[in-house]
Amino acid sequence: MKLDAKIPSGPLAQKWTNYKNEIRLVSPANKRKYDIIVVGTGLAGASAAASLGELGYNVKAFCLQDSPRRAHSVAAQGGINAAKNYRNDGDSVHRLFYDTIKGGDFRAREANVHRLAEVSLNVIDQATAQGVPFAREYSGYLATRSFGGAQVSRTFYARGQTGQQLLLGAYQALMCQVSAGTVKIFPRHEMLELVLVNNHAKGIVVRDLISGKISTVTADAVVLATGGYSNAFYLSTSGVASNVTASWRAHRKGALFANPCFTQIHPTCIPVSGDYQSKLTLMSESLRNDGRVWVPKNAGDKRSPEQIPDSDRDYYLERIYPAYGNLVPRDIASRAAKRVCDEGRGVGPGGLGVFLDFRDAIKRLGEPVIRERYANLFDMYHEITIENAYKTPMRIYPAIHYAMGGLWVDYNLMSNLPGLFVIGEANFSDHGANRLGASALMQGLADGYFVLPYTIGDYLARNEVKRPAADVPEAKLAETETAARLNKLLSIRGKRTPVEFHKQLGRILWDNCGMAREEAGLKKAMQAIAALREEFWQNVIVPGSHADLNMALERAGRVADFLELGELLCLDALERRESCGCHLRTEFQTPEGECLRNDTDYAYVAAWEFTGAGKPPQLHKEPLVYEEAHMAQRSYK
């Protein structure tokens, strides 16, 4: 299989403009003849479905939650990047492009990233016009703040609820189209299979989660906007419903899965407190604007933080990375936290934590200012820990947060299966080996509002394979297989719950494929996951039936897919014998413990092909060619 990324020719900064001028169009009268399925209604899915509806296509949008407004994007706190340069601080499309490529440790596709930086401007305009109440200055103009990995202030925000507000903007645009009749929404529906006709994606099998009814929906194209797979690790900052099933089912039908081992660990999360925990809570990166990260200078210093004088504190990020200080990228900050904890200088129970201290910011700006900027985060911290972070520093520790990997897509955001488009966190394309803060919201909305609506037209205009009827043999077969799988899960009647398997998988992944990875551990993990998967299919217990709402069954299906993904994740980490971004192989690091990239052998996207159950997946490589960015060792010092 030859991977063609379909990158347009011409100079980098003109590619998107030129391409849009050449792309095939579907005439307004013909648009309503096309049906498009959008799975997922987060930022990516809702913005895409609404925009496609506005263009005149018939859209069917599916999601797991009871309302599109509750997609996991709602939880994003800190902000969204855009190269507006409202601060006159030297920002530009080029700088945002370069920061993103560098932040991703030179493992992202240049042309996609440049386009992202270009349309970031339109995203802010669109959201503002929809009524997203971004923070403003007294002048009435938009305010910004700084995020990690950038030396400019380009992050727009709506208090600590940026994701919620952007999602409401997209959701409201979607509801507007529902009332206009162009979009139909199907909440509480789960996609369980992809339907291929002549190798083109032409439909999905869905289960109505309330009635349990399994049915096929066909269309002219299928868009997956189903989010990331961090929950493979069980404990992550994602919502409990986030999963990989839609992507994984597509992968099993032939869609390539790219860079699965690029999973981001966020440095500022509330530390784990017990094994009953169902998820971890993020404290937004925006806090690093005003909070200073430190640990005691000496291991075993048991004084309470207020009693430790500055002379006995190690503000290690400011010390090691003076140029970026507390605003180094996430992978760097996470690893630095791990290192100081490994040295025995961690704080809190088990020594797995570092301080994030607002003392100096409160002294400088006063408590009201800090309250205005972060009140909801401080409140959330208080609810969980019953500690008052205005008085005592927060304790934070890294946790799994985001998946840079995902289904492989070309420049059109189309997977290697024609007609299957993948947008938002579900695809792999823009963040390389590490995503910068406030760039996921930007990417989800860029894909959905401003990229997919153009590129999907190019596919539809070719009209290569017509939309099939819902009862074509391919669909019937997919339906039968889906029902058989659910029946199988229900009939095993073993001894261990789906959640028990999920927790065990999460522990294996965190221990061996988390913040630091090495060959022996990865090999061990792959064996352990294969054994766990085998046990799952013999010993899982799922009560109830598939003919009504059955959350245990939903969970079991998702865990089954995580158990397959988990092994691929480790394999990808094993095969990438270099360190880059979030992927630190302990065998390949600089004396200071930073990533040692190997551009000669690994400057490629690893795209894995499913070759059959129990068979080794096949690796395909998309070489990464940089026309503009100069590949250099990252330095934030």
Ligand X SMILES: Cc1cc2nc3c(=O)[nH]c(=O)nc-3n(C[C@H](O)[C@H](O)[C@H](O)COP(=O)(O)OP(=O)(O)OC[C@H]3O[C@@H](n4cnc5c(N)ncnc54)[C@H](O)[C@@H]3O)c2cc1C
Active site residues: 330
In this structure, what DSSP letter does residue 417 have? Answer: S
Q: Is 165 in the site for other proteins (CB under 8 A)?
A: yes
Nearest to 352 by CA among 238, 267, 233, 437: 267
DSSP 473-488: HHHHHHHHHHHHHHHH
**b vs e for 401-438, b when ≥16 Cβ sit within 10 Å of the residue's Cβ?**
bbbbbbbbbbbbbbbbbbbbbbbbbbbbbbbbbbbbbb
Phi, psi (degrees; rounded to nearest 5) at 62? -115, 145
Smallest gap from residue 217 Cβ to other proteins (A) = 19
Smallest gap from residue 212 Cβ to other proteins (A) = 11
Q: Which one of ligand X, other proteins, none interacts with residue 240, CB within 5 to 8 A by kind?
A: other proteins
CB 146 within 8 A of CB 153: yes
Q: Is 520 in the site for other proteins (CB under 8 A)?
A: no
CA 219/CA 412 separation, integer angstroms: 19
Nearest to 409 by CA among 245, 250, 265: 250
Q: Is 173 in the site for ligand X (CB under 6 A)?
A: no
The footprint of ligand X on residues 437-476 (CB under 6 A) is 438-441, 444
CA 406/CA 614 separation, integer angstroms: 21
Q: Is 243 in the site for other proteins (CB under 8 A)?
A: no
Site residue total, other proteins (CB under 8 A) = 85
Q: Which two tokens mark 135?
A: 């923070």
- A 10 A CB-CB count for 151 gives 15
* Paired residues of 294 in beta bridges: 355
Q: Which one of ligand X, other proteins, none interacts with residue 80, CB within 5 to 8 A by kind?
A: ligand X
Nearer to ligand X, 357 or 425 (CB): 425
Nearer to other proteins, 117 or 580 (CB): 117
Phi, psi (degrees; rounded to nearest 5) at 421? -105, 145
Q: Is 78 in the site for ligand X (CB under 6 A)?
A: yes
CA 96/CA 367 separation, integer angstroms: 32
Site residue total, ligand X (CB under 6 A) = 46
In this chain, which of 26, 59, 80, 217 binds ligand X, going by CB under 6 A? 80
Nearer to ligand X, 164 or 182 (CB): 164
Nearest to 252 by CA among 504, 556, 568: 568
Instruction: State the Rg of the chain over Cα.
Output: 24
SS3 600: helix
Q: Is 153 in the site for other proteins (CB under 8 A)?
A: no
CB 148 within 8 A of CB 289: no
Q: Is 58 in the site for ligand X (CB under 6 A)?
A: no
Q: Is 539 in the site for other proteins (CB under 8 A)?
A: no
CA 264/CA 402 separation, integer angstroms: 5
Smallest gap from residue 246 Cβ to ligand X (A) = 4
Nearer to ligand X, 23 or 143 (CB): 143
Q: Is 47 in the site for other proteins (CB under 8 A)?
A: yes
Nearest to 381 by CA among 372, 369, 367, 392: 392
In this structure, what DSSP letter does residue 53 have? Answer: H
Nearer to ligand X, 12 or 287 (CB): 287
Nearer to ligand X, 552 or 596 (CB): 552
Q: Which one of ligand X, other proteins, none interacts with residue 79, CB within 5 to 8 A by kind?
A: ligand X
In this chain, which of 552, 596, 619, 631 binds other proteins, going by CB under 8 A? 552
Nearer to ligand X, 445 or 526 (CB): 445
Decide: residue 388, CB within 10 A, 0-12 exposed, 13-18 middle, 19+ buried. exposed
Q: Is 159 in the site for other proteins (CB under 8 A)?
A: yes
The footprint of other proteins on residues 56-85 (CB under 8 A) is 65-70, 72, 74-75, 84
Task: Give me the 579-618 binding string for other proteins, x by CB under 8 A, dash otherwise.
Answer: ----------------------------------------
Stretches 11-19, 36-44, 481-489, 616-624: which one binds ligand X (CB under 6 A)?
36-44
Q: Which one of ligand X, other proteins, none interacts with residue 550, CB within 5 to 8 A by kind?
A: other proteins
In this chain, which of 45, 149, 271, 498 binds ligand X, going by CB under 6 A? 45
Distances (CA, A) of 242 to 26, 65, 236, 299, 555: 34, 10, 10, 38, 10
In this chain, which of 58, 73, 146, 268 binds ligand X, going by CB under 6 A? 73
CA 88/CA 580 separation, integer angstroms: 32
- Residue whose pair of structure tokens reads 């509806």 in the numeric block: 53
CA 411/CA 394 separation, integer angstroms: 42
Q: Is 61 in the site for ligand X (CB under 6 A)?
A: no
Nearer to other proteins, 65 or 151 (CB): 65
Smallest gap from residue 241 Cβ to other proteins (A) = 5
The footprint of ligand X on residues 189-228 (CB under 6 A) is 189-191, 225-228
Q: Which one of other proteins, ligand X, none interacts with residue 178, CB within 5 to 8 A by kind?
A: other proteins
Question: Please, how many CA atoms are within 13 Å of residue 249, restricted to the half-sphere of its CB?
Answer: 27
Smallest gap from residue 493 Cβ to other proteins (A) = 7
CA 137/CA 125 separation, integer angstroms: 17
**Interacting residue ranges for ligand X, rule: CB under 6 A:** 39-45, 62-65, 71-73, 75-80, 162-163, 189-191, 225-228, 237-238, 242-243, 245-246, 282, 284, 402, 424-426, 438-441, 444
